[in-house]
Structure formats: structure tokens, C-alpha cells
Amino acid sequence: MKRCALIFTTIVFGSFVAGAAVAQQKAQAKLSAEAARGKYLVQIAGCNDCHTPGYATSGGKVEEKLWLTGDQLGWRGPWGTTYSSNLRLRVKDMTAEQFVTVARSKLRPPMPWFNMRDMSDRDVKAIYAYLKLLGPAGQPAPQYVPPDKTPSGPFVQFPATPK
Ligand code: HEC
């Protein structure tokens, strides 16, 4: 009788553990499907062009482990000098909802914030999932420099915006 109970307990507990493992696998599979979609979106929406050093100039030949780690190259124009943020560090302590809020806010040029604004929440969250999958790496991009100051590092100079 005792043995019976033991076997029964083992079966119940065993199937519980197996069930939990399946649930975890499912969550993992969902994450990778979501992250894979995020990666695809990052590639076709051109996020690497600015947020990955050397990506645009090398024709996209940058190892994935360096993707979206930000850039030291400044973009200087009437708005001052901006730097493409290290998105992997940026999302480190952020929830998906907080990232959606950032994606809905107005940013300085040449960030095409209006493109990101028009993405669905689902797409923005997929990009977030991909950034989380890549994990934190690299250094933060340099700080924004106001228009009246000259940046110390390399920068691209934009002409004044035509009126
Ligand atoms: C033409 C260059 C360029 C492209 C393309 C670009 N970005 Fe940016 N991005 C920037 C710059 C520059 C900034 C900093 C803007 C500022 O200082 O206000 C920025 C800022 C951001 C921020 C805000 C980060 C922060 O520190 O708060 C997010 C999020 C972001 N970009 C995501 C994306 C995503 C996702 C894509 C692809 C859909 C993308 N960017 C494409 C240049 C670019």
C-alpha cells in the first residue's frame, strides 16, 4: 500500500514537473519566435544602419554580437549633436511597456522616431524581445551635445534644415 502511494506520488509529481517543463519550453519557443521576428524587423527597418558601428558602411558585415551596441559617431545639425544609443544597454532595466513608451516619444534627428511611432505595439515588443535576447554589451553612446558646443569625437555635419 505504501509502495502504491509512493508510485502514485511519483507519477503525480513527475507529470507536474513534466508539465512545468513543457510550459517553460513553450514560453521559450514563444520568446524565440518573438525575438526572431524582432531580429527580422531590426534588419528590414534599418535600425542597425545607425545603432551598430560600421554596419551601413560595411554593407551589413558586422557580427551579430555587436549589433545595436550604439555608435560613437555624432550626427551634428541645427538640433545639436546626437548619438545612436546603445539599445542593448538601454533596455537592460526596462520593461517591454517602458520600451513601448520610449518608442512612442519624439526623438532628435536623424532618429526616424516617426517610423518607430507607427509600428504596432506587437512589433515594438518583438524588437524589445530581440534586444533582451542579445543581452547587454558594449559602452553607452556619448552624451548629446547642444548646438552651440563642438563635439570632441568624430561627427557628420548636416546642413541647416531648409525652411
Ligand atoms: C538614421 C540613423 C538612425 C536609424 C536608422 C535608427 N536610429 Fe534610433 N536613434 C538614432 C539617434 C541619433 C538616436 C538619439 C536621438 C536623441 O538623442 O534624441 C536614436 C535613439 C533611439 C532610441 C531612444 C534611445 C534612448 O536612449 O532613449 C530608440 C529606442 C531607438 N533609437 C530605436 C531605434 C530602432 C528600433 C530603429 C529601427 C527601427 C532605429 N532606432 C533606427 C539614430 C537612428
| Residue 110 and residue 75 in contact, taking contact as beta carbons nearer than 8 Å | yes
pLDDT for 148 equals: 96
- Residue 154 makes CB contacts below 8 A (sequence gap 6+) with 72, 73, 74
117/70 Cα distance (integer angstroms): 20
Q: Is residue 99, in this structure, part of any structural domain at all?
A: yes
102/43 Cα distance (integer angstroms): 20
Q: Is residue 3, in this structure, part of any structural domain at all?
A: no
For residue 33, the CA-to-ligand 1 centroid distance in Å is: 24
For residue 148, the CA-to-ligand 1 centroid distance in Å is: 22
Window from 25-34, 103-112, 114-123, 149-158 with minimum mean pLDDT: 25-34
Q: Is residue 61, in this structure, part of any structural domain at all?
A: yes
73/55 Cα distance (integer angstroms): 12
Measured from the Cα of 116, ligand 1's closest atom is 38
Domain, as residue range, for 49: 44-157
What is the pairing mode between strands 80-83 and 155-157? unpaired
Q: What is the pLDDT of residues 25-54, one digit of tens each?
A: 777 777 789 999 999 999 999 999 999 999
Whose CA is closest to atom 41 on ligand 1? 47
pLDDT above 60: residue 126: yes
Residue 8 confidence class, pLDDT cut points 50, 70, 90: low
Q: Is residue 36, in this structure, part of any structural domain at all?
A: no
Q: Is residue 5, in this structure, part of any structural domain at all?
A: no
Window from 11-20, 63-72, 89-98 with minimum mean pLDDT: 11-20
For residue 17, the CA-to-ligand 1 centroid distance in Å is: 43
DSSP three-state, residue 26: helix
Ligand 1, CB within 6 Å, residue ranges? 45-47, 49-51, 75, 82-85, 87, 90, 102-103, 107-108, 110-112, 115-116, 127, 144
pLDDT for 31 equals: 72
For residue 31, the CA-to-ligand 1 centroid distance in Å is: 23
Q: Is residue 92, in this structure, part of any structural domain at all?
A: yes
Q: Is residue 26, in this structure, part of any structural domain at all?
A: no
User: Over pLDDT 70: what percentage of the chain?
Assistant: 88
Residue 79 confidence class, pLDDT cut points 50, 70, 90: very high
Domains: count for the chain: 1
pLDDT for 29 equals: 72
Q: Is residue 63, in this structure, part of any structural domain at all?
A: yes
Predicted TM-score (pTM) of the model is 0.86
